[in-house]
Structure 1
Amino acid sequence: MKKWLSLSTLCVVLLIGGCNTGNDQQEPKEEVNGEDTQEDPSTEQTPEDEDAEQEGEDEGVQNNEDFLAIEDEFTKDFLVETEVEPGFHQMRGELDGFEMLIPENGIISDLLHDIENNAIETIIFTFNNYIEKKLYDVKLMYYKKYPEEVKQNYLNVFKTEVNFDGEYKYAEANGLEMYYGSFEDEDEYGPYMRYFGYLFAEERNQAISFTYMAMCQGEGECSISLEEESEMAEKLMYSIRLLDQ
């Protein structure tokens, strides 16, 4: 089963988020001020040095600090309030149609943001859990106005998009009708879980779709628990508010 966000797109986001550590080392310069430089034999690495360097890299995987939303030039333009609660900021779509929580290490790429006809806004943001080697991405599609008669069509098409063949659960919160579901699976990249919902404003024809995905990042041990990962997904989905237009 293919993930809705391609691996190539994720690589772009990971590079923006500063979590691609594979290319940190640079090639040594051959010239300084036009003159060739000779490598100092005393600077050659010994096996002990290489072991220490490898140990440092391993520690970096565990302790590497995230590239924060407030430090990213594109992401911070969406933030309307910082530190609304520990680890989270409040973000608003560019069309001023919705607000929700975003993790403090959530990064929105300008390559993954789109506005169509000043009526439909797509936002994708990602964040990481370096210690557990997991990557998360969240996709939102906001509709400023939709025809009430096609509401069921929206729900049917959404099922196909997220590869879900079950029945929606239903809830009401924040003045929204919420149709949602979740599942876990595995593909060629490893285990993953998907949590999703379609939210409709009760008193006006606004809507927003929400798709949350958790997956393993890189090699090594990593497990995805639907129950555990759903806690964060639900927190983000239930934080969504559709705003008066």
Structure 2
Amino acid sequence: MKKWLSLSTLCVVLLIGGCNTGNDQQEPKEEVNGEDTQEDPSTEQTPEDEDAEQEGEDEGVQNNEDFLAVEDEFTKDFLVETEVEPGFHQMRGKLDGFEMLIPENGIISDLLHDIENDKAETVIFTFNNHLEKKQYNVKLMYQSQYSGDWKQNYLNVFKDEVGFDGEYEYAEANGLEIYHESYEDEDEYGPVLKYFSYLFSKHRNQAISYEFIAVCQGGEDCTQSLEEEAEIAEKLMYSIRLLDQ
């Protein structure tokens, strides 16, 4: 399980870094060539300046600003309705197979979005809670057709992929059969929550897997509550609708 957590955390960090680059928010770093330079006294940092700079670096995960879904060129093409409720938009997959809520600061990665044979689609989006120094990663894998005889195989393989060896909880909602569970652990950055589910349409051979990862990025300044993070995970999960095609 620890190996999976390390890989997942690395994926989240790389993903956010890619989103930042795509939104042109990174500032170029000044290179030093080893030559002595004469500093302008007016630009010399005081201890107070250094303290303020350190405080700024400690805020947020990558920077101090959110990237908004409606402002991101790739993400906004998925939005079908904005501000459906405070803090959330409605998004739809490119195969028109599913809809769900996405936080207003959720960013869909163009690098990791994939459509296979017009039958399967992978969507990954991330969002941050800068105040609490948390980072969230959501991965969806939609299938427009699957064999009902293989449902249990799908569930077993999915458990192996997420590193879980227990039993699923079962629920029904929105015309879906939902198999879900969660666990929490720690990695080198702090607590990690994993919430995951497989959702099958009760009326059509459609299915979608859902993975939600909450990662602390603030060290001792960041705490995770399984119950509180699960509420966010379940809000997004229960907003999923599989659409007629």
TM-score, scaled to structure 1:
0.87
Is 2:162 aligned against 1:162?
A: yes
Is 2:42 aligned against 1:42?
A: yes
- 1:208 aligned partner: 208
Q: Is the 8 A contact 1:78 1:91 kept in 2?
A: yes
Is 2:233 aligned against 1:233?
A: yes
TM-score, scaled to structure 2:
0.87
Deviation string 1:195-240 (CA, Å, 9 cap, x unpaired) is 1111111111000001111111154421111111000111000000
Q: Is the 8 A contact 1:133 1:218 kept in 2?
A: yes
Q: Is the 8 A contact 2:9 2:215 kept in 1?
A: no
- 2:101 aligned partner: 101
1:149/1:215 CA distance change after superposition, 3 Å: same
Pairwise CA distance, 1:7? 4.3
Correspondence 1:38-117 to 2 at 5 A: 39-58=39-58, 60-61=59-60, 64-117=64-117
Alpha-carbon distance in structure 2 between the residues aligned to 1:166 and 1:56: 42
Pairwise CA distance, 1:29? 10
Q: Which has the higher contact order (CA 8 A, sep 6+)?
A: 2
Alpha-carbon distance in structure 1 between the residues aligned to 2:213 and 2:28: 31
Q: What stretches of structure 2 of length at least 5 have no aligned partner?
A: none
SS of the residue 1:18 aligns to: helix
Deviation string 1:35-74 (CA, Å, 9 cap, x unpaired) is xx9753333223333334334444x549933111111111
Amino acid in the other structure paired with 1:91: M
Say which one has the larger Rg: 1
Q: Is the 8 A contact 2:6 2:187 kept in 1?
A: no
Alpha-carbon distance in structure 2 between the residues aligned to 1:148 and 1:231: 30
Percent identical among aligned pairs is: 70
- Count of residues in correspondence between the two structures: 235
Q: Is the 8 A contact 1:17 1:66 kept in 2?
A: no
- 2:20 aligned partner: 18
Range 38-47 or range 151-160, more displaced:
38-47
Q: What stretches of structure 1 of length at least 5 have no aligned partner?
A: 31-36
Q: Is the 8 A contact 1:121 1:143 kept in 2?
A: yes
Pairwise CA distance, 1:25? 6.5
Q: Is the 8 A contact 2:107 2:127 kept in 1?
A: yes
Pairwise CA distance, 1:111? 1.0
Q: CA RMSD in A?
A: 2.5
1:185/1:49 CA distance change after superposition, 3 Å: closer
1:28/1:189 CA distance change after superposition, 3 Å: closer
Amino acid in the other structure paired with 1:226: L
